[in-house]
A and B are shown apart, each in its own frame.
Chain A
Amino acid sequence: MTDTLTPVLTRNWGTDRSWTLDAYRAQGGYAGLKQALTMSPKAVTDLVKDAGLRGRGGAGFPTGLKWSFVPQDNPNPKYLVVNGDESEPGTCKDIPLMMASPHTLVEGVIISAYAINAHTAFIYIRGEVAHPIRRVRAAVREAYAAGLLGANILGSGYDLELIVHAGAGAYICGEETALLNSLAGLRGQPRLRPPFPAVAGLYASPTVINNVESIATVPSILAYGKDWFQSMGTEKSKGFTIYSLSGHVARPGQYEAPLGITMRELLELAGGVRAGHTLKFFTPGGSSTPILTAADLDVTLDYEGLAAKGTMLGTKAMQIFDETVSVVRTTRRWVDFYKHESCGKCTPCREGTWWLAQILARLEAGEGEPGDVDKLVSVASSIGGRSFCPLADGAVACVTSAVKHFREEFEVGYTTPAWEHLPYAQSTLFAKEVRP
Chain B
Amino acid sequence: MSDDMVTLSIDGLEVSVPKGTHLIRAAEAAGIAIPRFCDHPLLDPVGACRQCLVEITDAGNGRGFPKPQPSCTTEAANGMVALTGASSAAARQAQADILELLLINHPLDCPVCDKGGECPLQNQALADGRGETRFTDVKRTYPTPTPVSELILLDRERCVLCTRCTRFADQIAGDPTLALVERGAKQQVGIYPDEPFHSYFSGNVVQICPVGALTSADYRFSARPFDLVSTATTCENCASGCQLRVDARHFEVKRRYAGEAPDINEEWSCDRGRFGFVSARGEDRLTRPLVRRGGELQPVTWPEALAAAVAGLTPALGSTGVLTGGRLTLETAYAYSTFARKVLRTHNIDFRSRLASDEEAAFLAAYVVGRPDVTYADLDRAARVVLVAFEPEEESPAVFLRLRKAVRKGGLKIATIAPYRSRGAAKLGAELLPAGPADVVNALAGLTADENTILLVGERLAATPGGYSALAGLLGRTGARLAWIPRRAGEIGALVAGCLPGLLPGARPVDDPEARAEVAKVWGELPAVDGLDVTAMIAAAASGRLRALVTSGIEAADFADPALVAAALKTAFVVSLETRLSQVAAAADVVLPVDLLEQQVGTFLNWEHRTGAVNQVVDHPRLPMTEVRVLAALAAALGTPLGFATPEAARAGLLTLPRYEGERASMLRIEPETALPSGVVLASWRELLDDSRLLDGAGHLVATAPPAVARISPQTRRTEGLATSTFVRLTGPKGSVTFPLVVTPTMVDDVIWVPARARDKLLADIGVDVGGAVTLSAAPDPKKEGEE
Interface residues in chain A, defined as those with a beta carbon under 8 Å from any beta carbon in chain B = 170, 187, 192, 339-348, 350-355, 358-359, 362, 375, 381-383, 385-388
B440 at the interface (CB under 8 A from A): no
Q: How far is the CB of B396 from chain A (nearest CB, A)?
A: 31
Distance, CA A339 to CA B184, complexed state (A):
7
Show 12 residue pairs from A and B whose CB-CB distance is below 8 angstroms, ordered by the A residue: A339-B185, A341-B184, A343-B187, A344-B161, A344-B185, A346-B50, A348-B97, A350-B185, A351-B105, A385-B68, A386-B50, A388-B50
Distance, CA A341 to CA B183, complexed state (A):
8
Distance, CA A341 to CA B186, complexed state (A):
11
Nearest B residue (CB) for A193: B73
Distance, CA A388 to CA B73, complexed state (A):
11
Hey, which chain A residues are within 8 Å of B182, CB to CB? Answer: 344
Q: How far is the CB of B36 from chain A (nearest CB, A)?
A: 12
Hey, which chain B residues are within 8 Å of A345, CB to CB? Answer: 46, 48, 161, 187
Stretch in contact with the other chain, from B134-142, B286-294, B467-475, B666-674 = B134-142
A387 close to B101 (CB less than 8 A): no
Hey, which chain B residues are within 8 Å of A346, CB to CB? Answer: 47-50
B94 at the interface (CB under 8 A from A): yes
- Of B50, B140, B160, B161, the most chain A CB neighbours within 10 A belong to B50
B100 close to A344 (CB less than 8 A): no
Decide: A347 near B48, CB < 8 A? Known: A352-B101, A386-B97: yes
B104 at the interface (CB under 8 A from A): yes
Distance, CA A340 to CA B182, complexed state (A):
11
B50 close to A348 (CB less than 8 A): yes
A354 close to B185 (CB less than 8 A): yes
A342 close to B185 (CB less than 8 A): yes
Q: How far is the CB of B40 from chain A (nearest CB, A)?
A: 15
B45 at the interface (CB under 8 A from A): yes
Chain A to chain B: the 5 pairs with minimum beta-carbon distance, closest first? A344-B187, A382-B97, A358-B137, A385-B67, A351-B101
Q: How far is the CB of A405 from chain B (nearest CB, A)?
A: 23
New A-B contacts (17) at CB < 8 Å, excluding given A341-B184, A386-B97: A192-B45, A192-B46, A192-B47, A339-B185, A344-B183, A344-B186, A346-B49, A350-B161, A351-B101, A353-B185, A355-B104, A362-B137, A375-B134, A383-B97, A385-B67, A386-B53, A386-B98
Distance, CA A355 to CA B134, complexed state (A):
10
Hey, which chain A residues are within 8 Å of B183, CB to CB? Answer: 170, 187, 342-344
Decide: A347 near B180, CB < 8 A? Known: A342-B185, A386-B53: no
Distance, CA A353 to CA B160, complexed state (A):
15
Q: How far is the CB of A337 from chain B (nearest CB, A)?
A: 11
Q: How far is the CB of B610 from chain A (nearest CB, A)?
A: 36
The contact of B98 among A347, A354, A359, by CB within 8 Å, is A347
B185 close to A351 (CB less than 8 A): yes
> CB-defined interface of B82-106 with A at 8 Å, one 1/0 digit per residue?
0000000000001001101110110
Nearest A residue (CB) for B188: A344
Decide: A354 near B104, CB < 8 A? Known: A170-B183, A344-B182, A344-B185: yes
B101 close to A347 (CB less than 8 A): yes
Nearest A residue (CB) for B73: A192
B187 close to A350 (CB less than 8 A): yes
Chain B contact residues (Cβ within 8 angstroms of A): what range?
20 to 34
B50 close to A350 (CB less than 8 A): no
B320 at the interface (CB under 8 A from A): no
Distance, CA A354 to CA B66, complexed state (A):
26
B243 at the interface (CB under 8 A from A): no
Distance, CA A353 to CA B184, complexed state (A):
9
Distance, CA A352 to CA B184, complexed state (A):
11
Hey, which chain A residues are within 8 Å of B233, CB to CB? Answer: none
Distance, CA A375 to CA B133, complexed state (A):
12
Hey, which chain A residues are within 8 Å of B101, CB to CB? Answer: 347-348, 351-352, 355, 382-383
A388 close to B67 (CB less than 8 A): no
Hey, which chain A residues are within 8 Å of B50, CB to CB? Answer: 346-348, 386-388
Nearest B residue (CB) for A194: B75
Q: For chain B residues 43-94, which have a beta carbon within 8 Å of chain A?
A: 45-51, 53, 66-68, 73, 94
- Of B53, B67, B135, B184, the most chain A CB neighbours within 10 A belong to B184
Q: How far is the CB of B83 from chain A (nearest CB, A)?
A: 16
A354 close to B140 (CB less than 8 A): yes
Q: For chain B residues 160-193, which have a beta carbon within 8 Å of chain A?
A: 160-161, 180, 182-187
Hey, which chain A residues are within 8 Å of B46, CB to CB? Answer: 192, 345
Q: How far is the CB of B189 from chain A (nearest CB, A)?
A: 11
Distance, CA A345 to CA B48, complexed state (A):
6
Distance, CA A344 to CA B46, complexed state (A):
13
Nearest A residue (CB) for B45: A192
Nearest B residue (CB) for A371: B134
Distance, CA A346 to CA B104, complexed state (A):
14
Distance, CA A381 to CA B101, complexed state (A):
12
B105 close to A354 (CB less than 8 A): yes
B160 close to A343 (CB less than 8 A): no
Nearest A residue (CB) for B186: A344
Hey, which chain A residues are within 8 Å of B45, CB to CB? Answer: 192
Hey, which chain B residues are within 8 Å of A383, CB to CB? Answer: 97, 101
Decide: A351 near B187, CB < 8 A? Known: A346-B47, A382-B97: no
The contact of B135 among A343, A347, A348, A355, by CB within 8 Å, is A355
Hey, which chain A residues are within 8 Å of B187, CB to CB? Answer: 343-345, 350
Q: How far is the CB of B105 from chain A (nearest CB, A)?
A: 6
Q: How far is the CB of B359 from chain A (nearest CB, A)?
A: 46
B184 close to A348 (CB less than 8 A): no
Distance, CA A346 to CA B53, complexed state (A):
12
Distance, CA A346 to CA B94, complexed state (A):
14
A355 close to B68 (CB less than 8 A): no
Hey, which chain B residues are within 8 Å of A359, CB to CB? Answer: 137
Nearest A residue (CB) for B136: A369
The contact of B184 among A342, A355, A358, A386, by CB within 8 Å, is A342
Hey, which chain B residues are within 8 Å of A170, CB to CB? Answer: 183
Distance, CA A347 to CA B38, complexed state (A):
10
B184 close to A344 (CB less than 8 A): yes
Nearest A residue (CB) for B98: A347
Distance, CA A354 to CA B94, complexed state (A):
18
Hey, which chain A residues are within 8 Å of B160, CB to CB? Answer: 347
Distance, CA A340 to CA B187, complexed state (A):
11
Nearest A residue (CB) for B135: A355
Q: How far is the CB of A83 from chain B (nearest CB, A)?
A: 20
Nearest A residue (CB) for B183: A344
Distance, CA A355 to CA B139, complexed state (A):
9
Hey, which chain B residues are within 8 Å of A348, CB to CB? Answer: 50, 97-98, 101
Q: How far is the CB of A20 from chain B (nearest CB, A)?
A: 38
Distance, CA A353 to CA B104, complexed state (A):
12
Q: How far is the CB of A258 from chain B (nearest CB, A)?
A: 31
Hey, which chain B residues are within 8 Å of A388, CB to CB? Answer: 47-48, 50
- Of B45, B94, B134, B183, the most chain A CB neighbours within 10 A belong to B183
Hey, which chain A residues are within 8 Å of B185, CB to CB? Answer: 339, 342, 344, 350-351, 353-354
> CB-defined interface of B101-144 with A at 8 Å, one 1/0 digit per residue?
11011000000000000000000000000000011011010000
Distance, CA A347 to CA B135, complexed state (A):
15
Hey, which chain B residues are within 8 Å of A386, CB to CB? Answer: 50, 53, 67-68, 94, 97-98
Distance, CA A170 to CA B137, complexed state (A):
27
Nearest A residue (CB) for B44: A192
Distance, CA A348 to CA B100, complexed state (A):
10
Distance, CA A344 to CA B50, complexed state (A):
13
Q: How far is the CB of B73 from chain A (nearest CB, A)?
A: 6
Distance, CA A234 to CA B161, complexed state (A):
46
Hey, which chain B residues are within 8 Å of A351, CB to CB? Answer: 101-102, 104-105, 185
Distance, CA A382 to CA B102, complexed state (A):
12
Hey, which chain A residues are within 8 Å of B49, CB to CB? Answer: 346-347
Nearest B residue (CB) for A358: B137
The contact of B51 among A187, A340, A341, A347, by CB within 8 Å, is A347
Distance, CA A344 to CA B140, complexed state (A):
13
Distance, CA A382 to CA B98, complexed state (A):
7
Q: How far is the CB of A166 from chain B (nearest CB, A)?
A: 18
Hey, which chain A residues are within 8 Å of B100, CB to CB? Answer: 382
Nearest B residue (CB) for A381: B97
> CB-defined interface of B681-723 with A at 8 Å, one 1/0 digit per residue?
0000000000000000000000000000000000000000000
